[in-house]
Amino acid sequence: MSLEKDSRVHREDREIVKLFLERDEGALREVRDKYGSMMDRLARNVVGDASDAEEIVSDALLAAWNSIPPHEPEKLGPYMARLTRNLSVDRLRRETTAKRGGGVADVSFSELEECITGDSGSVEELADREEIARVINGFLSEAGRSGRVIFVRRYWYMDSIPDIASSLGFTESKVKMTLSRMRKKLREKLEKEGIIV
């Protein structure tokens, strides 16, 4: 690997954001080099199709180009993940309006519906509510590190249980049990806060 390539791969987020602010198209290459595989994995986990995921990653790069400036994210990875996830969920919603699929995202949403929605509405409709986000963030800050990682990987990044277990060195049953316990505790916390009854 050349020195030039090596320095480009390890460029700091603030340097990449500066390229965006200067309207230097090299910023897009830098983002793709640094975060492209994460964005692709996230999009594939949600939509389940490689060509759709590729389009979503391109759309996320365009969205970053159009939103920086005025935004100047300090942490570019989470910013790109949010853009990618939102575009992926939007694509999934459009494609499954008439017919629900059986991908990881559908399973993840249905798991969360157990503790978030009860009998009223869908998790997709409730996911944007600030109050639920506040409670979930508080819930996760109180959780142990491994539980927090498992929860976020499953319900934010839409990773499969086997992938989570493999990457953390856990059994699939441990991941399933952890998720089950966390959903139960989250439901109790939401009930206590008066968000669901």
Residues 68 and 14 in one domain: yes
Q: In this structure, is residue 197 part of a structural domain?
A: no
Q: Which residue has the tokens 């459009």?
A: 94
- Please tell me the predicted confidence (pLDDT) of residue 96: 62
pLDDT for residue 173 = 94
Give the separation between CA 78 and CA 67, rounded to whole angstroms.
14
H runs (alpha helix) in 48-171: 50-67, 76-95, 104-116, 123-126, 130-142, 145-155, 161-168
Please identify every stretch of the chain with a pLDDT value under 70, giving residue numbers as ranges.
Answer: 1-10, 96-130, 196-197
- Using CA atoms, how far residue 11 sits from 29, 33, 83, 175, in Å, is 11, 10, 21, 34
What does the pLDDT read at residue 150?
A: 93
Final residue before a domain boundary, out of 74, 95, 116:
95
CATH number at residue 146: 1.10.10.10
Residue 91 and residue 112 in one domain: no
Domain termination site, one of 95, 125, 150: 95
**SS3 state at 192:** helix
Q: What total number of domains does the chain contain?
A: 2
Distance in Å from the first CA to the final CA of the chain: 58
Q: Based on the fold, state whether residues 124 and 183 are members of the same structural domain.
A: yes
108 and 184 together in one domain: yes
- Cis amide prior to 69 (ω within 30 degrees): yes
134 and 60 housed in the same domain? no
CB of 133 closer than 8 Å to CB of 74: no
Q: What pLDDT, on the 0 to 100 scale, is given for residue 197?
A: 46
Question: What region does 120 belong to: left with phi over 0, alpha with psi -120 to 50, or beta?
Answer: beta
The CATH number covering residue 27 comes to 1.10.1740
| Residue 171 burial (C-beta neighbours within 10 Å; 0-12, 13-18, 19+) | exposed
Q: What is the pLDDT of residue 2?
A: 36
